[in-house]
Amino acid sequence: MSPIAIIRTTLAALLLPIGAAHAGGATPPEWPCLAHQAPRCTAPSIQAADLLGQIEPSAGGQQVPDPAASSDATAEGNLLAESQNPIANLVSVPLQSNTNFGVGPFGRTQEIFNIQPVIPVSLSRDWLLVSRIIVPLIYQPELSAGVGNVFGLGDINPTFFFVPKNTGALTYGFGPALLFPTASDRSLGAGKWGAGPGAVLVYTSGSIVAGALVNQVWSFAGDAGRPDLSQFLIQPFLNYNLPGGWFVVTSPIVTANWLGGAGNQWTVPVGGGGGKLLTLGRRPVSISLQFYWNAVRPEGAADWTVRFVFTLLFPQKT
C-alpha cells in the first residue's frame, strides 16, 4: 500500500466514528450557515458522501452526477486552496502540534504546540494586511542532569504581510517579522526582542498550491546576559489536492542560526504527509498529519518530527 493510501485510510478511520456519532443523534453546535453550505447546511456534520463520493442513482438504476454535489465540490476545492494559502483573505486558526524525537543528550521527546491565528484586514480597495501570530506552548524535556522538565509559554512570533488584492495565480506578501521575549522560563526562549523582514510567495493553479515563506530576524534588545540572535527561516510548501477534500503536502521548516558554530547552523527537514478538509458541526476544518526527518541538524536537535495540524476555518459569508 502506498504512503498516500496509508494516510487516507488512517484519517478515514479516525473520521468515520465522528460522523457515526453525529448520525446517531448528537446535536451539532449552532454555527452560522456558510455560503458554500447553504443548500444543505442542515446535513449531518461529517457527510458520508465526503468519503464515498456524491452521486445518486437515477430511476433506471444508472449512476448520474448530482448537480448540487458538483457545486459543493467546487466550493470545497476553493476553500481547500484558500486554507493552504498563508496570505489568503480567510480567517483561520491553525493548531499545530510538533512532537520532536531524540532531543538533547538524553534523546528525549519535546512537544511544541503552536496556536497560529491568521487574520486578514482590508486596508483599501487594493491591499490587505494579513497578520500571522505564532504563540508556542512548549514542553521541554530534561536537557542536562538536574535541570528537570519544563512546560510553559515560549517566545511569541508575529508576522505582518501587506498583500495586494486580485493578483491572479501568483500572489505575494511582505512585511515585518517580530520576536517578543514572552517565554515563561529561561529555557523556553531567547530572552531577546527581535525584528526583521518577512515575505511570502504563493502560486495556485488547479490542484496545486505551492510557494514559500521566508524571514530573517535579528535581536536588538533584551537580556544582556543572553546570546545575540540572527535567525533565518524558509518554509517551502507544496500541496496537491485530490477529490473528496483529500490532499498531500510537504512543508518543511528550514532554519539557520547564523551565530551557531560550524556544523551547528542549519536544520533541514525532509518529509511530508496528507490531510483532509471536512466539516465538524457547521464549521469547516482542515486536518493533516506529516512526518519529517532532519537530514541536517545541529548537535542536540531532534532526529525527526511528527506534525499534526488542526485548522479552524472561518470563510466569509456571501
What pLDDT shows up at residue 77?
A: 80
How far is residue 123's CA from residue 158's CA, in Å, rounded to a whole number? 18
Q: Average the pLDDT over 44-53 and give the result.
A: 34
What pLDDT shows up at residue 65?
A: 59
Q: Do the beta carbons of residue 279 and residue 29 sit within 8 Å?
A: no
18 closest CA partner among 50, 41, 40: 50
The dotted CATH code for 3-17+19-24+31-50+65-84+98-294 is 2.40.160
What pLDDT shows up at residue 316?
A: 84
Record the pTM: 0.76
Domain ranges of the chain: 3-17+19-24+31-50+65-84+98-294
pLDDT digits (tens, 9 = 90+) for 13-34: 545 544 444 444 444 333 333 3
Q: Do the beta carbons of residue 96 and residue 289 sit within 8 Å?
A: no
What pLDDT shows up at residue 1?
A: 60
How far is residue 87's CA from residue 130's CA, in Å, rounded to a whole number? 6
What pLDDT shows up at residue 13?
A: 54
Q: Do the beta carbons of residue 193 and residue 176 sit within 8 Å?
A: no
Q: Average the pLDDT over 225-244 and give the result.
A: 96
> Quick one: pLDDT band at residue 76, thresholds 50, 70, 90?
confident
Mean pLDDT of the chain: 84
